[in-house]
Chains A and B, each alone.
Chain A
Amino acid sequence: QVQLVQSGAEVRKPGASVKVSCKTSGYRFTSYDINWVRQATGQGLEWMGWMNPNSGNTGYAQKFQGRVTMTRNTSISTAYLEVSSLRSEDTAVYYCARVIMVRGVDYGMDVWGQGTTVTVSS
């Protein structure tokens, strides 16, 4: 079955970077985009950006441009999210999610990773 399995919890100091992985299985990795969504403590869900695993093309929410990088390793069907210059407000649960897009029709984010907790604290 389709699965997205994320890396474990991380703790970082302010100003540091963190890289979260999202290992996919059960489908062709390069066929569907990956979105990254986060939920900061006490806040709602927030979209961070998307990546096309086939081309490597990305699109980031304006709020995160310059601080977020989304990459992939197609040989191991894994997507990555790197967030730099971390601040306390980045303490959140980070989710990856597969986007079903078929012939230009968006069917939504149908499978999600379990989430990765990133804590930013001095």
Chain B
Amino acid sequence: QSLLTQPPSASGTPGQRVTISCSGSTSYTGNFYVYWYQHLPGTAPKLLIYRNNQRPSGVPDRFSGSKSGTSASLAISGLRSEDEGDYYCVIWDDTLSGLVFGGGTKLTVL
């Protein structure tokens, strides 16, 4: 049971906007930053969003992140077939002194 809960799956058609949620355990106070990683089949994971809503250089602005309290969301607009893969939210847990990954959301582009 992950301390970060994500829906196991999400889907959308090309051009659509989809959102993936990430809900923190009730034990969290909300004083944490959320990071999002994209993991496409056969590739290494890729950083999409850091510190809740910041995009690294080279990440398209189709990807955006937000956070409110202990919940966060990743939004992907203008959905493309190449976006199909797994998406993970990640936080640093001070109590565990370690990173915590959400269970991951498998995004399907219909």
Contact = CB atoms under 8 A, between A and B. Distances in A.
B55 to A, nearest CB: 11
Nearest to A93: B44
Contact of B103 (A35, A37, A44, A62): A44
A112 interface: yes
A37 B45 contact: yes
B97 interface: yes
Interface in A40-74: 44-47, 49-50, 59-62
Interface in A93-110: 95, 97, 105-110
A45 B44 contact: no
Nearest to A59: B97
B47 A108 contact: yes
A45 B50 contact: no
Interface in B65-110: 86, 88, 90, 92, 96-104
A49 B98 contact: yes
Contacts of B99: 35, 47, 50, 61
Contact of B50 (A44, A108, A113): A108
Which range holds the interface residue count of chain B?
20 to 34
Contact of A45 (B47, B92, B96, B101): B101
B84 to A, nearest CB: 16
B63 interface: no
A114 interface: yes
A107 B45 contact: no
A50 B88 CA distance: 19
B43 to A, nearest CB: 8
B47 A110 contact: yes
Contacts of B102: 44
B56 interface: yes
Contact of B98 (A44, A62, A107): A62
14 contacts: A39-B39, A45-B37, A47-B90, A47-B99, A47-B101, A59-B98, A106-B51, A106-B92, A107-B51, A107-B54, A108-B56, A110-B56, A112-B45, A114-B44
